[in-house]
Structure 1
Amino acid sequence: MNNLVPSYWGRPLEHYLSDYMLWGAVTVDSLMSSDNLTMIDEFRDNIDRVSAIASGDPDMSNQVSVSTLRSLHRMPYKPETYVHMANPPLISGCIKLMASIRGSGKPSPFSYELGYLSFRLVEICLGACLLDNHRVLAFKTRSPLCKPNLVPPVVEELSTHAGGGGRESYNCVLGWSFCPDHATADYPLIISLSDTRLLMELLYSDRKLFLEAMRATHAIAGNLSALVFLFWRYVNYQRLLQGQLLSKKLRIPMLEIFYRCWVVSSTDQHAAFSHMYLCDKDQWPPWNELLHKVDPEDSRELVRAFTGHFVAANKFTFSDPITVSVLDIPNALYFLAYRIVPESEDLVGAFVETMIQRLWCAIADREESNELLIDSISTSLVWLRTILQQFHNTWETNTMPLSNIVLAMVNSELLPLVGRAMLLLEPFQSLDRQTPDLVKRSKIMAASRLLFEGISQVVPRDFLEMAFLHTLPVYWQVSRQMEFMSLVVFPEDIYPRRVRRGFYTVCVEIWNALCHSIADSQSRQGQGGVCANPRCPSPWDSGRNGVCVFALLGNILLYASMSSNHD
């Protein structure tokens, strides 16, 4: 360790992280054999020691060691001790400890073990304080249900109460200001505005190491949604106190912290994140404010984190909760798109593949209505094109990364995904291309066409045709399906046959255009004579313009299935 670094700061990040990957399990085992009374007395002594730093005594920080903080991390695992974590002075003391740790000449709490443990305690204590101030019965009575997993639903409830226009003062549970419903309520102050601002600045300035540390140590019992709730309310409240100017200055730090927390948070916290994001959309910066210098190592860490998050989402079973809502994907891409730099392009292929697979899962399991699914897929394709645009005119110098990105799209069946999404569309009542109905519903058509045009602009034509060659039967399948759908009418269909035929004519036009971006018409026609139905007894004999009876039967069965589920 550097001789200039105080020994009580503990180990540097590259040495301490591995010890906390399984910290939660080890902590629970150690608690099972601990004496409650002795343990609580020890906890109280350590809480007092850290809390004393909040009073401003500079000498007290030297008396808080890593072992002191490690002992406090055992408290959330038992109701008898977890309730003692609802301690505002403990939060303030930990924030001041974080601010005292410096790396490379600036505050860097995650550079050393003491700063990391201090942050984790802030996170845990904040959740406990919210449970206490919200008067959660299990917390107040110290029941066996008194655990940190009570925090996410409470944060979701609080964000629903406080979110929306005109509610900047709805900070009752934090003790800052009060809404009309709680004007006479007595809520203790959890954390001061100055400490909140300091904590926000610390996390933003050390955001690279913050993400690295959080990714590696999921086992610690914390609640990042509670932390994001704190900052979300702070930015809203500053809008009321200081006006829009200060609020705008906080938008980028807020966004950076929000998504770094989201991408490493547990499943049960996602609903709370979504509520906070959707309640105050005007709080988030427009895309042109996101164009700032990105650290290459931070970019790589972000791409890895988002890829890992989507990989976990693609492995869920019907008995597991969904880890990433399909509705959250466009928002995540909005954050990530401008943080991809040339130094991280070799990781983009894996990310693109897992993201497209996640969209496939959403369609296969009908996670949302067709309209919401199509909107999410469309917006995701728009952001995917934005990512690709950053590699324009770089094929000669970035051949391998770009080829991997295109092959990832092929392997994850991007073309079939677009075709499937287009077949989810309801026919338009009007074929006037300027009507709002057509503009809204045709978003998937415009987004997919622009994406495939974008793909054709970053890689050579011959490579593109070769890469997508084995997917070209999909072109024929989707075209035939659209032709079939234009000829049939559901028993209670509200759309006249004229409308249905006109709609699918537009679909075929768009489908032909986007497929032309990746293969010429001769290649597509050559593939069109091959029946891809695995039960077809003679897949090569259907003829270029003929219709295989097995393919037609498949269409009829699909139509019957859709008709039975048709509203």
Structure 2
Amino acid sequence: MKIFEEKSNFAGVASAVSHKSLPTSYSYFWTLRIIPLSKLRSSWTVTNLYKPFSGTSFSYEYGYLSFRLLTLVIGVCFLQRTNSLDMTISNMEAEPYVELLLTFSGHVSRVVEDQMDVVNLSGNGNHFDCGKEMIRQQIDIIHAHRIVYCILQFLLPCSPEPKLNNTTPMSWRRHPQWGRPLADYISSFTEDASKGRFYQSEFEPIALEAIEQVCQLAGDGSNISMRDVEQISVATLDTILVLSRSPLYLRHFESPSLISGCIKLMASVQVNGNPSPFSYEYGYLCFRIIALAVGVCLLSRRYELAEAISEMIADKETALLDIFSCHVSQLVAEETEEAYGRGPVCDWILGWIKSPDQPQQPPLASRPDIMNLLIILEGDRKRFLKAISSTVTPGLSGIMFIIWRHVHAKCVSKNHSRPESLVVPFSELLWRCMLAATTDEVTPLMYMFNDMEVVSELWDKHSKRYDEEDSVSILNTYIMRLAPTNPRRYSRLTSVEMTSLLRFIKWTVEPGCEDLFAQVFGMTLDRTWEAVVGKEIDDGLLVDAVSRILVYLGDFLQLLEHMHPISGPIVKDVTLMLIEKESLSLVGRTMLLMVPTRAPPVQTRECETRRNTVFLGFVEMLYERIEGLLPSYVLGREFSIYLPEWLKLYRHFVSLRYRTENETRTKWDHYRMSGSSWRHMAKSLGLEPQIKAILESGKKCCYSRCAAPDDLDGGELTCPLCLGRTYCSARCQAMDWDLDFGSGSHRQLCKRST
């Protein structure tokens, strides 16, 4: 930049940056961080840093101001490379009563202290060998020694970087081109980190220059040269993203070329020869820019960008990116819903077709670029989920929208020669996005999922194997969505969403994640109970949802069955969770929601009959898998607590069946089938011998003053403590427990009450 090439400006910049009363001081810190160090090398010699007290460099104001500028430049570089610059600037803005340089120096000091810890931890310290003693001597005698240490460390020649090991601090795992690894950079994109706003007009042209650099890479080719990549650093991408911190700058993301260029840059981030953009900060920054650019383009083409910006300006309490993401998600939901059954009607907004009601738009992204993006994201799917679930990534639904339209056009609207090549990777990404979806993103992603149902069996056939780390990450994200720690940002999964996600999760489970099974079962059953009790959706849809949830949980049990007896403690924990969460009662409650239908089905009630048959079949499959985990006598002992509930519902089915003798055959068949299925479940749980003994015992209602004690067919209710007394109703049971008519109340006589 010219300002640093002219000596006449050198002192002026230093003075401006350090002058606390200058209103634009903050912008110079942003300016300094994107200056290539090579452009400053020629000027460093004027300060003669190796002899700071010789009296030559500081004899006149020029030398001192030059030195002052260099300390700022190097300090900013250190803050940038340790990702502390944004926080430093935010603190400067938040503390106007504190002198700027005091805040700046404090942050640099902390960074340098961390680096000195690295020296102490690195053993022989070969990274610092050259000049380390000199640095330590200077630290003892030089005022503002920490900033001077920064300068010396940059100027002194260094040995090659040390090899990394388990004790190496993560700050030294930074890649020279790609920046920080995934574990480090996610902390810089949390909800708290996204709340700041940045208004500095002086910074705008710098960011626009960075955008232009990326746009020059756009084109039909899928690859770019490493020389092109090296011209765009992490700092360049970060500079572009600063524009997203002001609603006034957001319009600059309206650029299809920016989308294309960032897709190519993402592909350049490779690990072991394969694209892995989310392994390092560089790839994530590219993805974040793509999400912003796609969202801004979509809003602009629907003439909704101005409205979104106005809301951002008016609402200073809500984070800018949250407002932006909500507008993008709403737009995508409307376009997706409108596309149902109407072909490519929404593709006008992508510039792929001409709409009679809308102006012709240039392509938002070329199909080769979209295909390239799909392959890149799916290839790094494990880290993709970690990144989007651990950061605030605005406008994610916009990216999925353009990929979905491409896959829909190729595989749903037309017959693709190899549809699995598109459906499988897209489904993989879609499910992961649904797992990590924020409240505003749920609806548009569910619309896309429903549209892809017609080809979803391709994913079942061709889904890839997963590893333990990925399985654990998927299950933990699912658990988070069942009980969000941030309910303002994430909504709890509905019963319909659970069925969609469990279908995906069941295939991703691998040995090593079974410790999470009990928690998954418990939280899933709790949420299912809430849906049933609260009548979350229509009864028919609720029956569908419960049946699928239970059969998918059965698939988890199948994995445990294959691992038995290694997973014995896990099997016990899962079994106890099924008992604690009253899974059998949940099944019985849902069975009562079914519409009575005839078997075999008749045409007029075919849908309900199929639904009932599927539900009973799925539930029986679940309990057959439970049967395969533990011996029958163990299951019978553990599930014996269910006997009163089982007998209660069984008698209810018998009663309902005989009440319909004079009605149509439909209800008779339905309740006979339900009762038969109910007994099959009891058999799988090892309860059949106990039930048979009870039903053949001829027991009556044990309350001595019951009006109709005979013919209970085993008893409607049983004492849950001793299992020895039966009752026809809850009233009789309560009265017998409390009242003493001479021979003692059951509270006094029950063998297990004490």
For the aligned pair, the TM-score class normalised by the smaller chain equals 0.7 to 0.9
Describe how 1:437-448 pairs up with structure 2 within 5 A.
437-448=608-619
Larger Rg: 1 or 2?
Answer: 2
Aligned partners of 1:385 and 1:451 also within 8 Å = yes
Distance 1:320 1:54, change over 3 A: closer
Aligned to 2:213: 49
2:339 corresponds to which of 147, 162, 183: 162
Distance 1:259 1:538, change over 3 A: closer
2:461 corresponds to which of 289, 294, 315: 289
Aligned partners of 1:87 and 1:129 also within 8 Å = yes
Distance 1:552 1:72, change over 3 A: farther
- Deviation string 1:451-498 (CA, Å, 9 cap, x unpaired) is 111210132223323432333332133234445555779xxxxx9487
Aligned to 1:194: 368
My pick for the range that moved more, 464-473 or 506-515, is: 464-473
- Secondary structure of the residue aligned to 1:186 is coil
1:149 corresponds to which of 326, 329, 340: 326
Aligned partners of 2:325 and 2:440 also within 8 Å = no
Distance 1:137 1:338, change over 3 A: closer
Aligned to 1:28: 195
2:677 corresponds to which of 510, 513, 518: 510
1:351 corresponds to which of 520, 523, 528: 520
Aligned to 2:385: 211
Percentage of matched positions with identical amino acids: 25
Query: Is 1:462 matched up with 2:633?
Result: yes
Distance 1:207 1:322, change over 3 A: closer
My pick for the range that moved more, 460-469 or 477-486, is: 477-486
In the TM superposition, what is the alpha-carbon distance from 1:543 to its structure 2 partner?
6.7
1:82 corresponds to which of 209, 232, 250: 250
Distance 1:203 1:388 in 2: 31
Aligned to 1:224: 396
Distance 1:242 1:511 in 2: 45
Distance 2:495 2:326 in 1: 24
Distance 1:521 1:143, change over 3 A: closer
In the TM superposition, what is the alpha-carbon distance from 1:420 to its structure 2 partner?
0.8
Aligned to 2:41: none
Distance 1:344 1:542 in 2: 38
Distance 2:513 2:554 in 1: 17
- Deviation string 1:385-442 (CA, Å, 9 cap, x unpaired) is 23323333532222123223323322322111101101112222x3546873433323
Which structure features the higher share of helix residues?
1
Distance 1:510 1:281, change over 3 A: same
Query: Is 1:173 matched up with 2:349?
Result: yes
Aligned to 1:102: 270
Distance 1:140 1:13, change over 3 A: closer
In the TM superposition, what is the alpha-carbon distance from 1:25 to its structure 2 partner?
2.5
- Secondary structure of the residue aligned to 1:463 is helix
In the TM superposition, what is the alpha-carbon distance from 1:155 to its structure 2 partner?
0.6
In the TM superposition, what is the alpha-carbon distance from 1:366 to its structure 2 partner?
1.2
Aligned partners of 2:262 and 2:289 also within 8 Å = yes
Count of equivalent residues? 531
2:500 corresponds to which of 331, 340, 345: 331
Distance 1:237 1:52 in 2: 29
TM-score (norm 1): 0.83
In the TM superposition, what is the alpha-carbon distance from 1:84 to its structure 2 partner?
2.2
Aligned to 2:62: none
2:533 corresponds to which of 326, 340, 364: 364
- Deviation string 1:213-232 (CA, Å, 9 cap, x unpaired) is 22222xx2412221211111
Aligned to 1:561: none
- Deviation string 1:160-205 (CA, Å, 9 cap, x unpaired) is 23344x72575211112345x45x6221321111211111111111
Distance 1:291 1:273, change over 3 A: closer
Distance 2:559 2:308 in 1: 53
Distance 2:174 2:722 in 1: 77
In the TM superposition, what is the alpha-carbon distance from 1:154 to its structure 2 partner?
0.7
1:17 corresponds to which of 171, 186, 197: 186
- Secondary structure of the residue aligned to 2:512 is helix
Distance 1:480 1:544, change over 3 A: farther
Aligned partners of 2:727 and 2:733 also within 8 Å = no
Aligned partners of 2:591 and 2:674 also within 8 Å = yes
Distance 1:241 1:2 in 2: 55
In the TM superposition, what is the alpha-carbon distance from 1:48 to its structure 2 partner?
2.4
Distance 1:516 1:275, change over 3 A: same
Aligned partners of 1:525 and 1:544 also within 8 Å = no
Bigger relative CO (Cα 8 Å, ≥ 6 apart) = 1
Question: Which amino acid in structure 1 is aligned with residue 370 of structure 2?
Answer: T
Q: Which runs of 5+ in 2 are unaligned?
A: 1-160, 164-172, 315-322, 703-716, 736-754
Describe how 1:235-314 pairs up with structure 2 within 5 A.
235-239=407-411, 243-286=415-458, 288-312=460-484
Aligned partners of 1:236 and 1:247 also within 8 Å = no
Distance 1:537 1:408 in 2: 23
- Deviation string 1:2-21 (CA, Å, 9 cap, x unpaired) is 8898523111222222333x
Aligned partners of 2:509 and 2:556 also within 8 Å = yes
My pick for the range that moved more, 55-64 or 40-49, is: 55-64
Question: Which amino acid in structure 2 is aligned with residue 383 of structure 1?
Answer: Y
Aligned partners of 2:277 and 2:283 also within 8 Å = yes
Aligned partners of 1:303 and 1:347 also within 8 Å = yes
TM-score (norm 2): 0.63
Distance 1:246 1:286, change over 3 A: closer
Query: Is 1:550 matched up with 2:719?
Result: no
Q: Which runs of 5+ in 1 are unaligned?
A: 490-494, 555-567
Aligned to 1:474: 645
Aligned partners of 1:92 and 1:195 also within 8 Å = yes
Query: Is 1:376 matched up with 2:376?
Result: no
Aligned partners of 2:641 and 2:720 also within 8 Å = no
- Secondary structure of the residue aligned to 1:26 is coil
Supply the RMSD in Å over aligned alpha carbons.
Answer: 3.6
- Secondary structure of the residue aligned to 2:647 is helix
